[in-house]
Amino acid sequence: MNDRIMSDGVAINVLLIEDNPQHAALLDQMLGEAMDERFQLIHRETVAEGMERFAQGGIDLILLDLSLPDSEGLDTFLRVYNEAGGTPVIVLSGIGDEALAVQTVGHGAQDYLVKGHVDRHWLVRSMQYALERQRARQELAGAHRELELRVEERTAELQKANTSLQREIGERKRAEEAVRESNRQLADALGQLRQTQQHIIQRERLHALGRMASGIAHDFNNALAPILGFTELLLLRPDTMADPPKVKSYLRMIHTAAKDSAKVVSRLREFYRYREEAEVSAPVGLTELVNQVISLTQPKWKDQAQANGINIRIATELEELPAVLGNEAELREMLTNVVFNAVDALEKDGVITFRTLRKGDNAVIQIADTGIGMSEETRARCLEPFFSTKEQHGTGLGLGIVYGIVRRHEGDIKIASELGCGTTITITIPLRGAEKPAPKPVVVEPAPPPLRVLVVEDEPLVREVVSVYLNEDGHMVETANNGVEGLEKFKAIPFDVVVTDRAMPEMNGDQLAIQIKKIKPEMPVILLTGFGDLMLDVGERPAGVDLIVSKPFTLHSLRAALSKTVDKQKPPSAAVA
């Protein structure tokens, strides 16, 4: 790398402030391979050197490491950002800290990327988006200035018209017309100002949504861990297939984790609806739940840890407890976060101990680890939202989520920890006499009579699952990759029902439903979509759609939808399955 600046005006000059020459060389190689942009990388190893080079001019974008010889953490970003004068700054750091990422983005960083988790395409896309946002801000500022100038000009014209009206009473008609024209132009200017303000408000809403979505992403990744872990075990160890009980156990846990993932996604609805108090009401067996969480988190505390050269042993001291009233998915999420937090605290071989016991009218769960522990200051603040510490990897991560779930269950959480002596988290939940009901027999939705079904879905895997479900029930299935192909097959072949995705290229599900109803108004159309919950909440019902089935769907929900289509007593209004 050298310090030359391209003079042809085509290259984008990127200032990299990074003290690791290997990382700098890798970035130079990655940017040199970019096909859609020409980047010129200018490397400096300290904040002082970087800002000295920035002052010379010609820098379009700054890539910044947060751990440098002359600065550390958030202070590094603030120093560079304050001196950058509006030049986009992207943090590219080895610190994988969600709270620090939120802080830097909240203070103006265009993006926060973690070294080792970013490929060339991701890096180039982030840089392009940062430059586009910078250009958009500049254009918006220019629009503001132009708008203010126009308002001032129109105001001056109005004042001139009023003066002219006073001086030339005989030309009242012309003066009145001038006033009306000025008012119209002023109203146009005011409308543009309001539109600009709406853009600013929308940008701030998106920024807030991004901060909330980071927590959802954290939970979703936790829910995906057992799915990836157990499927990887089955793929890496084909001999496991010879042990049906173990395979069945793995599949049951994968299925549970997948349903939890769907619940995590459904929590996005909380951005536009109020929480229903009745959601926390079902009896939950805590001892059984602890055993389930131990199995679900095995890929994290066993396989992933062993891959890093760390052996973690799980110890249990479990008493059988009465059921508590609660939300099973949230309680499972709570314990999973505590387990992951404990695993992150173990930098060498150690033990995680689970205890359940009863104290009076309360159920108590304890999770103790032999990890690095927390200082008194960290322990006192670890439950605060967005709080974390960079000195101790993993300490306090996820505990804010745990605290929120405990409080929603009217419980209490206590944390005992000491540096070098591990951490013990004690969770207390009231026993309210909830009796866990006997397991209800699984009701299998009977398959409707054989039907001729047209399945329109652009995702091959989803299309395959729907086809397998329907074929297993004896239906005759014809598939199409998109709405256009689906409409052609509908015209050529007789069908009893149409099952279609909503978001598809060329012709979406809403448009396909309208076209089908034009040809055959009595044809039942089922909309299979990941937007089902959202559509239900806002009361949306596309024209031509008789039934909405939300993704992810099950054999039960698909059978129920088909049964409703052949039920002649079903009212004409659409329902959500």
- Assign domain 12-132 to its CATH superfamily: Response regulator (3.40.50.2300)
Distance between CA atoms of residues 77 and 412, nearest Å: 37
Spell out the residues 6+ positions from residue 189 whose beta carbon is closer than 8 angstroms to its own.
Answer: 147, 150, 151, 154
For 493-540, the pLDDT digits (tens) are: 999 999 999 888 889 999 999 999 999 999 999 998 877 666 766 667
- For residue 271, name the pLDDT band (cuts at 50, 70, 90): very low
Copy the structure tokens of residue 424.
Answer: 């013990």
Q: Is the pLDDT of residue 572 over 50?
A: no
Q: Residue 384's pLDDT band (boundaries 50, 70, 90)?
A: low
Digit-coded pLDDT (tens) for 433-478: 555 555 555 555 677 889 999 999 988 888 888 888 898 889 999 9
CA-based Rg of the chain, rounded to a whole angstrom?
Answer: 31
Q: Which of these ranges, 215-229, 304-318, 477-491, 514-528, has the smallest mean pLDDT? A: 215-229
Res 438: pLDDT: 52
Band of residue 200 on the pLDDT scale cut at 50, 70, 90 = low
Q: What is the pLDDT of residue 228?
A: 72
Distance (Å, rounded) from C-alpha 432 to C-alpha 409?
A: 11
State the average pLDDT over residues 301-324. 87
Task: Determine contact, residues 28/20, Cβ cutoff 8 Å.
Answer: no
Per residue in 84-112, pLDDT tens?
888 999 888 877 667 887 888 888 888 88
Q: What is the mean predicted confidence (pLDDT) over 266-282? A: 50
Distance between CA atoms of residues 571 and 221, nearest Å: 41
3 state DSSP class of 553: coil
Lowest model confidence (mean pLDDT) among 345-354, 428-437, 452-461: 428-437
Q: What's the pLDDT at 10?
A: 65
The top-level CATH class assigned to 275-430 is alpha beta
What's at 310, amino acid-wise? I
The answer to whether 333 and 401 have CB atoms below 8 angstroms apart is: yes
Q: Where are the beta strands (DSSP E) in 398-529?
A: 412-417, 423-430, 452-456, 476-480, 497-501, 525-529
Q: What angle do CA 299, 302, 304 make, to 5 degrees?
A: 60
Report the share of the chain in percent with pLDDT over 90: 21
DSSP-derived secondary structure for 176-222? HHHHHHHHHHHHHHHHHHHHHHHHHHHHHHHHHHHHHHHHHHHHHHH
Name the residue with higher pLDDT: 173 or 310: 310
CATH number for the domain running over 452-576? 3.40.50.2300
Residue pair 350/332 in contact (Cβ under 8 Å)? The answer is no
**The most confident of 23-32, 87-96, 236-245, 350-359, by mean pLDDT:** 350-359
pLDDT grade, residue 203 (50/70/90)? Answer: low
Mean per-residue pLDDT, 350-363: 93
49: pLDDT strictly greater than 60 = yes
Q: Which of 1-10, 166-175, 303-312, 561-570 is predicted most confidently?
A: 303-312
In sign, the C-alpha dihedral spanning 58, 61, 62, 63 is negative
Rounded CA-CA distance 85/248 in Å is 60
Q: Are 516 and 492 in contact (CB under 8 A)?
A: no
Check: CB of residue 340 under 8 Å from CB of residue 222: yes
Asked if pLDDT for residue 83 goes beyond 70, the answer is yes
Q: Report the alpha-carbon angle 77-83-88, nearest 5.
A: 65
pLDDT score at 570: 45
Mean pLDDT score, 388-417: 71
Q: Which of 372, 377, 379, 306 is nearest to 344 (CA)?
A: 372
- Of the pLDDT bands very low, low, confident and very high (cuts 50, 70, 90), residue 312 is very high
> Does residue 76 or residue 577 have the better pLDDT?
76
Look at residue 555 in the predicted model and tell me its pLDDT.
83
Contacts of 405 (CB under 8 A, 6+ apart): 330, 331, 333, 334
Quote the pLDDT of residue 393. Answer: 43
pLDDT at res. 534: 65
Q: Where in the chain is the domain with CATH 3.40.50.2300?
A: 12-132, 452-576
Strands 350-359 and 497-501: unpaired
pLDDT recorded at residue 103: 85
CATH 3.30.565.10 positions along the chain are 275-430
Q: pLDDT band for position 352 (50/70/90)?
A: very high
pTM above 0.75, yes or no: no
Average pLDDT, the chain: 79
CB contact at 8 A, 311 and 305: yes
Could you tell me the two tokens for 123? 């890096």
Mean pLDDT of 385-398: 49
Amino acid, single-letter form, for residue 132: E
pLDDT of residue 303: 72
pLDDT at 242 over 60: yes
How many percent of the chain have pLDDT more than 70?
81
Report the pLDDT averaged over residues 328-342: 85
Q: Can you tell me the mean pLDDT for 209-227? A: 58
DSSP notation for 265-312:
HHGGGGGSSPPPGGGS-EEE-HHHHHHHHHHHTHIIIIIIHHHTT--E
State the pLDDT at residue 94: 75
DSSP for residue 1: -
